[in-house]
Structure 1
Amino acid sequence: MTAAVLSLSTFVFLFLHDSWRADNLFLVPDLILCAALLAGAVLPARAALVALPVGLAYTTGVLTASAFSYVARGEIGVPSMVGAVVSAVMAALLAHRPASVRPRPA
Structure 2
Amino acid sequence: MNLLLLARTAAAAIGLVTFVYLFHHDSWRAENLFLAPDLVLCAALAAAALLPARWARAGLLFAFGLGAGVLTTSVSSYAVRGELGAASLLGAVTCAAFALVLAVRGTEGARRAHAEP
Q: Same fold (TM over 0.5)?
A: yes
Displacement over 4 Å in runs of 4+: none
Larger radius of gyration: 2
Q: Which residue of 2 aligns with 1:17?
A: 25
Q: Which residue of 2 aligns with 1:58?
A: 66
Residue 53 to residue 87, structure 1, CA distance change in 2 (3 Å): same
Deviation at 1:95, TM superposition (A): 1.2
**Root-mean-square deviation (CA), in Å?**
1.4
How far apart are the structure 2 equivalents of 1:52 and 1:22? Answer: 28
How far apart are the structure 2 equivalents of 1:71 and 1:101? Answer: 43
How far apart are the structure 2 equivalents of 1:76 and 1:61? Answer: 17
How far apart are the structure 2 equivalents of 1:81 and 1:49? Answer: 23
Runs (5+) with no aligned partner, structure 2: 1-8
Deviation at 1:44, TM superposition (A): 0.7
**Per-residue CA shift, 1:2-43, capped at 9, x if unaligned?**
000000000000000000001100000000000000000001
Aligned length: 102
1:69 aligns with 2:71: no
Runs (5+) with no aligned partner, structure 1: none
Q: Residue type of the partner of 1:30? A: D
Identity percentage of aligned residues: 54
How far apart are the structure 2 equivalents of 1:7 and 1:100? Answer: 32
